Amino acid sequence: MSQFWLYFQLGLEHVLDWQAYDHILFLVVLVASYTFISWKKVLWLVTLFTLGHTMALFLSVYEIVKVDVDYVEFLIPLTILVTAIFDIATAGKKLRNTNFSLLYFTTIFFGLIHGLGFSSYFKMIATGTDNKFWPLVEFALGIELAQVIVVLVVMILAFIFQNVINVSKRDWVLVTSSIVIGIIIPILQETYKAL
């Protein structure tokens, strides 16, 4: 297997790993309130999250930033909780269309936090590699494709529930975000105890 496919596949597996589902949960609440009509905005959000994630890996791998893993492990579920609460607070409102710059900035920032959570693992697998730049880029491409897959599944489910089963968009967002909150609160409590 070539180096490109190795790191690309690691990026795919990082997002699609069901045992490390925090990434998937974040993507679910990030796009829960969007439909296929808003595909450009969704793609921007996903790409900005990847950009933040990749910047964090660069900063960590090149030892520009060093962080305490326990704090990052606490912040990751916190970002998911904040995003889910935002979804619930804005469900059925037009607020999302008016403040995209803040949403884009927050998405990049949350991507940084999630990337720092994976940085120690990436440093370990990239040990012995002289040039870490290309493995990071290849890994980021794998992450981007995996995120697009997850988002596509979420949006297909949203389409089915809203257009076939006739669940209102507001109810879809409320139920989806509430389920994610129910999953993430115990994780948040566990990571808080580890601080």
φ, ψ of residue 67 in degrees (nearest 5): -130, 155
Going by C-alpha positions, the residue among 183, 191, 192, 180 that lies closest to residue 86 is 180
Residue 120: per-residue pLDDT: 78
Res. 84: pLDDT tops 90: yes
Give the C-alpha separation, 48 to 110, whole Å: 10
Which residue is listed with tokens 């912040």?
Answer: 75
* CB contact set of 101 (below 8 Å; sequence gap of 6+): none
User: Per-residue pLDDT averaged across 12-26, rounded?
Assistant: 89
Structure confidence by residue, pLDDT tens digits, 117-174: 888 777 777 777 778 888 889 988 999 999 999 999 999 999 999 999 999 999 999 9
Res. 180: pLDDT tops 90: yes
Domain boundaries, the chain: 3-7+39-193
Going by C-alpha positions, the residue among 186, 180, 185 that lies closest to residue 25 is 180
Give the C-alpha separation, 38 to 26, whole Å: 18
**What is the band of 20 on the pLDDT scale with cuts at 50, 70, 90?**
confident
Quote the tokens at residue 9. 């596949």
Give the C-alpha separation, 133 to 91, whole Å: 40
**What is the band of 95 on the pLDDT scale with cuts at 50, 70, 90?**
low
Helices and strands (H and E) in the chain: how many: 7, 0
Residue 98: per-residue pLDDT: 54
Give the C-alpha separation, 67 to 45, whole Å: 25
Give the C-alpha separation, 35 to 155, whole Å: 6
Give the C-alpha separation, 115 to 55, whole Å: 8
Entry pTM? 0.91
Per cent of the chain over pLDDT 70 is 96
Structure confidence by residue, pLDDT tens digits, 32-60: 999 999 999 999 999 999 999 999 989 98
